[in-house]
Amino acid sequence: MEVYREPRLLSAKVKKIKKQGKGVGFVPTMGYLHEGHLSLTRKAKKDTDYVVVSIFVNPIQFGAGEDLKKYPRDLRRDLSLCRNNGVDAVFVPASKTMYKPGFSTYVNVEGLTDGLCGASRPGHFKGVTTVVAKLLNIVNPDTAYFGQKDAQQAIVIKQMAADLDMPIKIKIMPIIREKDGLAMSSRNVYLSPLERKEALSLYRSLRTVKGLWKRGEKNTEKLARKMRDVILKEKHAEIDYVSIVDMKALKPIKRISGKALAAVAAKIGKTRLIDNIILG
């Protein structure tokens, strides 16, 4: 496994690999890897010949007062996980490499980024799409892999790739959960043992909604209220949003007819967590 810090060198390597007729898969991450990330690298390894993982805590997708500084980092452990999971190359750029003095070009997907996390984290998705566009340009993979855990991000990136004619397949993979149902996240380490228990309420609320929906409840106001009730039973929970939206435009819907996405963001203590479930 090789570790790259210079975009130029990684681009040259991938070019060489592709010349040999090999397929290249790419998994962008912010590191502090867990099974959620590794499910993506394993899928990439299954689909393609050469797997690149990037580890970069992207400063421009964090808002003021968010957790950029304390975001968990452990590069040694990440590299060893990559090595043991068939990753071929890891890209670990420095911030000053990605954002040189005078950097002034941003990628912004409109509309899809208005609601859900876009509403509570202004500028977040602009930071995400900008860095992912840069990474896709540097790596130039055949396929890039993203998790359904960040449902809005995945849809936004698909839109960006289509709008900008990027010749890259975007694959979205299922959410990997802890045994008790908590969606895996690098941020879960922030949780105290009590908060860790309370954090389960996010998935519990989604399962409750899925159960009610299966039994015929299609009214999203009622479903959302139920989700809120489940989460607000917890002492340290503060809801950012609970929303049922259509899968394409991510706009709130009154009644569920086709496929819908139930999504939640909540703070448990100081930790902001997200989760979602597909209805249909």
Which residues are known to be catalytic?
Answer: 37
Q: What is d(CA 178, CA 188) in angstroms, rounded to the nearest whole number?
A: 11
SS3 273: strand
Closest CA to 185 of 271, 117, 115, 269: 271
* Residue closer to ligand AMP (CB basis): 39 or 208: 39
| Number of helical (H) and strand (E) elements in the chain, helices listed first | 9, 9
CB of 268 to ligand AMP, least distance (A): 16
Q: Which stretch binds ligand AMP (CB under 6 A): 15-23, 45-53, 147-155, 201-209?
A: 147-155
Residues 6+ apart with CB under 8 A from 100: none
CB of 99 to ligand AMP, least distance (A): 17
Q: What is d(CA 156, CA 176) in angstroms, rounded to the nearest whole number?
A: 20
Binding residue for ligand AMP (CB under 6 A) from 17, 30, 53, 274?
30
* Residue closer to ligand AMP (CB basis): 24 or 184: 184
Binding residue for ligand AMP (CB under 6 A) from 126, 147, 205, 209?
147
Told to check if 37 binds ligand AMP by CB under 6 A, we report: yes
Tokens of 146: 């993203």
CA distances from 143 to 48, 55, 62 (A): 8, 17, 26
- Closest residue to ligand AMP, judged by C-beta, is 147
Please give the span between the terminal C-alpha atoms of the chain, in angstroms, as a whole number: 40
Q: What is d(CA 266, CA 239) in angstroms, rounded to the nearest whole number?
A: 4
* Residue closer to ligand AMP (CB basis): 155 or 175: 175
Q: Which stretch binds ligand AMP (CB under 6 A): 30-38, 71-79, 247-255, 268-276?
A: 30-38
* Residue closer to ligand AMP (CB basis): 158 or 236: 158
State which of positions 162-201 bind ligand AMP (CB under 6 A).
173, 175-176, 183-186
* Residue closer to ligand AMP (CB basis): 143 or 185: 185
- Give per-residue burial for 78-101: e unless 16+ CB within 10 Å, then b: bbebbeebebbbbbbbeeeebbee
Binding residue for ligand AMP (CB under 6 A) from 149, 198, 266, 268?
149
CB of 220 to ligand AMP, least distance (A): 24
Task: Scan for tokens 């902001």, then name that residue.
Answer: 272
Give me the residues that bind ligand AMP (CB under 6 A), please.
29-30, 36-37, 39-40, 146-147, 149-150, 173, 175-176, 183-186
